[in-house]
């Protein structure tokens, strides 16, 4: 079974009604590493519904968390907001400074980073129920669990110290109150008289915090199981940091029993890293945002990246040739007829599993109808986006008449963005010269020079289709008893100024024959005059 179906089977053993949850702290720009968590949750909820279960998918925005530090993308003026909850501080402007005007209009720091992520989720066909953690505290939804936690401070201390292997400070308490300045940093709890937590801040000011009104929050290791309890979470995927021995899941599954609930079914996933740059991090700025990724990659391919990779396997995201190879794999999968494959006799169990895995991964990836997704390959569209400046010329080359499906328009727009970005791989870049390059002409070998006039003659007689152009190049080289690689090198040097490049016959069919021949004539003349 596909990994999502395995989780769905585990859920079915615990009943028919389930809530699958994921969540993120909006401390900085969301990146595609975050998409692994939310796509994993989305795919599990879909698998659960496919298995006949009543499954809801929720996404928790941890906006009650404090600003931990002044991140690299923030102005130093944010230092005064350290310890303040993300829902209660202003968003950064383009220069990383607090944008007080937008804050007055109701846009918080948390909102600033959440809204683009919501837009990306719509594009990638993920539609969870959003739960704002700050609002949940303020509305009293954490009231019961907060009171239970404070009443059982000693039991929770014992669980955390025993399971995590670390000693808590003597004045530790399972509630972080907010001081009179709005910070939850540097405050010491001095007493508990349900529902009030007494405290003293770093300046000696004293006060009380009502846990039923969200005048503070539970520390993370208690906040997490508290959410499981009041929301009714029965399944949650999470990163390997939380799943490590003695980590927050290990302590959480014992703490949640104090709330008379059972820990959710777990699934630990590996992180997504950027090729050559390591794990993505919002705080360090080593990210590719989901909207940026979706400006380059069709959403189906991003979904396929997660669906086709087992959660315990790390993903290295590569916006260059790795993206091309991923698209090739996706396109091969879309072209498969799984019904025929599954009917073959003599299939081993391993072969059956591989076929079922690929079939389910594709089902979880598709957003548009399958025929629209597979109507043109990624590589071919990359070539057309470079050789055709007008969209209508692209559709004409593809033989698409009449109304153009919106999914195809979106694919071409993304491709043009990718082509003009610094992510586009040099191996696929097409740049036809307007006139001969003196540097390239100087690299022409004796074999290249011998071939050039004969190549021009042969290509002039070609009907300008890929197969005919390829035959012309190969036969010309064979006539002169030379390897075709000499002919291709001559053409690349003349047309692109490089020794090699993308598949030439296919490219030339999309370019004007006379323009290409005129450029080759000019190159020949340059060599004859030198």
Give how many domains the chain has, as a whole number. 4
Within this chain, do residues 87 and 14 fall inside the same structural domain, yes or no? yes
Give a yes or no: residue 62 inside a domain: yes
CA distances to 52, 60, 130, 241 from 47, rounded to whole Å, are 9, 21, 20, 25
Within this chain, do residues 393 and 478 fall inside the same structural domain, yes or no? no
**pLDDT mean values, one per 10 residues, the chain (530 residues):** 96 97 92 89 97 98 96 95 97 97 98 93 95 97 98 98 95 95 94 97 93 96 98 96 93 98 96 69 61 85 94 88 89 91 92 94 86 73 92 90 86 91 87 92 93 95 93 95 94 93 90 95 88
Within this chain, do residues 89 and 234 fall inside the same structural domain, yes or no? yes
Q: What angle do CA 9, 15, 21 make, to 5 degrees?
A: 75
Which residues lie below 8 Å from residue 250, measured CB to CB, with a gap of 6+?
Answer: 163, 164
Q: What is the pLDDT at residue 285? A: 53
Q: What is the pLDDT at residue 310? A: 95
Q: What is the pLDDT at residue 426? A: 85
Percent of the chain with pLDDT over 70: 96
Within this chain, do residues 461 and 421 fall inside the same structural domain, yes or no? no
Within this chain, do residues 211 and 231 fall inside the same structural domain, yes or no? no
User: 3-state class of 260 per DSSP?
Assistant: coil
Rounded to two decimals, the pTM is 0.86
Q: What is the pLDDT at residue 292? A: 82
Q: What is the pLDDT at residue 371? A: 58
Give a yes or no: residue 64 inside a domain: yes
Angstrom distance (rounded) from CA 286 to CA 424: 19
Q: In 10 A of CB 497, how many CB atoms?
A: 18
Angstrom distance (rounded) from CA 108 to CA 106: 6
Give a yes or no: residue 342 inside a domain: no
Closest CA to 496 of 485, 507, 482: 507
Within this chain, do residues 392 and 256 fall inside the same structural domain, yes or no? no
Within this chain, do residues 87 and 230 fall inside the same structural domain, yes or no? yes
Please answer whether residues 90 and 108 qualify as being in contact, where contact means their C-beta atoms are separated by less than 8 angstroms.
yes
Q: What is the pLDDT at residue 303? A: 95
Within this chain, do residues 237 and 198 fall inside the same structural domain, yes or no? no
CA distances to 336, 435, 443, 458 from 450, rounded to whole Å, are 46, 20, 14, 14
Within this chain, do residues 105 and 231 fall inside the same structural domain, yes or no? yes
Closest CA to 128 of 13, 39, 193: 39
Within this chain, do residues 27 and 38 fall inside the same structural domain, yes or no? yes
User: 455-474 pLDDT, tens per residue?
Assistant: 999 999 999 999 999 999 99
Domain containing residue 391:
375-428
User: What's the token pair of residue 9?
Assistant: 């089977």
User: 332-375 pLDDT, tens per residue?
Assistant: 999 899 999 999 999 999 999 999 999 999 999 998 766 555 56
Q: What is the pLDDT at residue 529? A: 81
Within this chain, do residues 33 and 178 fall inside the same structural domain, yes or no? no
């Amino acid at each position: 079974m596909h990994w999502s179906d395995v989780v769905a089977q585990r859920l079915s053993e615990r009943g028919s009604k389930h809530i699958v949850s994921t969540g993120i702290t909006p401390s900085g720009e969301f990146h595609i590493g975050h998409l692994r968590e939310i796509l994993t949750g989305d795919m599990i909820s879909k698998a659960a519904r496919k298995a006949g279960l009543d499954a809801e998918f929720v996404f928790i925005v941890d906006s009650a968390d404090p600003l931990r530090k002044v991140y690299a993308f923030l102005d130093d003026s944010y230092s005064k907001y350290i310890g303040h909850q993300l829902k209660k501080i202003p968003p950064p402007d383009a220069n990383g400074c607090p944008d007080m005007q937008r804050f007055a209009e109701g846009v918080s720091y948390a909102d600033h980073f959440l809204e683009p992520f919501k837009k990306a989720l719509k594009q990638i066909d993920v539609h969870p129920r959003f739960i704002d953690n700050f609002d949940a505290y303020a509305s009293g939804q954490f009231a019961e669990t907060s009171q239970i936690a404070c009443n059982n401070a000693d039991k929770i201390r014992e669980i955390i110290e025993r399971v995590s292997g670390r000693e808590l400070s003597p004045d530790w308490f399972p509630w972080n109150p907010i001081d009179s300045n709005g910070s939850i940093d540097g405050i010491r709890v001095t007493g508990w008289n349900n529902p009030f937590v007494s405290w003293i801040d770093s300046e000696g000011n004293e006060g009380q915090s009502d846990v039923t009104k969200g005048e503070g929050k539970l520390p993370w290791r208690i906040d997490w199981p508290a959410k499981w309890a009041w929301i009714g979470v029965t399944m949650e995927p999470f990163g390997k940091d939380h799943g490590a021995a003695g980590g927050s899941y290990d302590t959480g599954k014992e703490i949640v029993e104090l709330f008379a609930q059972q820990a959710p079914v777990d699934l630990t996933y590996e992180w997504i890293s950027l090729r050559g740059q390591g794990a993505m991090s919002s705080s360090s700025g080593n990210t590719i945002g989901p909207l940026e990724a979706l400006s380059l990659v069709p959403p189906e391919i991003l979904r396929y990246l997660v669906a086709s990779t087992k959660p315990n396997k790390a993903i290295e995201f590569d916006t260059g040739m790795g993206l091309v190879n991923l698209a090739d794999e996706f396109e091969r999968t879309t072209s498969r007829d799984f019904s025929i494959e599954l009917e073959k006799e003599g299939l081993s169990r391993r072969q059956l599993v591989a076929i079922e895995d690929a079939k389910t991964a594709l089902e979880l990836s598709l957003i548009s109808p399958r025929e629209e997704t597979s109507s043109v390959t990624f590589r071919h569209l990359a070539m057309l986006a470079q050789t055709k400046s007008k969209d209508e010329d692209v559709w004409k080359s593809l033989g698409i008449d009449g109304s153009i499906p919106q999914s195809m328009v979106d694919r071409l727009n993304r491709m043009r963005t990718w082509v003009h970005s610094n992510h586009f791989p040099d191996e696929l870049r097409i740049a036809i010269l307007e006139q001969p390059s003196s540097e390239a002409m100087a690299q022409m070998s004796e074999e290249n020079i011998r071939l050039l006039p004969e190549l021009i003659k042969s290509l002039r007689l070609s009907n300008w289709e890929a197969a005919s152009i390829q035959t012309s190049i190969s036969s010309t080289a064979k006539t002169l008893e030379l390897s075709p690689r000499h002919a291709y090198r001559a053409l690349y040097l003349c047309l692109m100024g490089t020794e090699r490049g993308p598949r030439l016959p296919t490219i030339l069919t999309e370019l004007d024959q006379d323009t290409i021949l005129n450029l080759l004539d000019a190159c020949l003349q340059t060599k004859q005059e030198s």
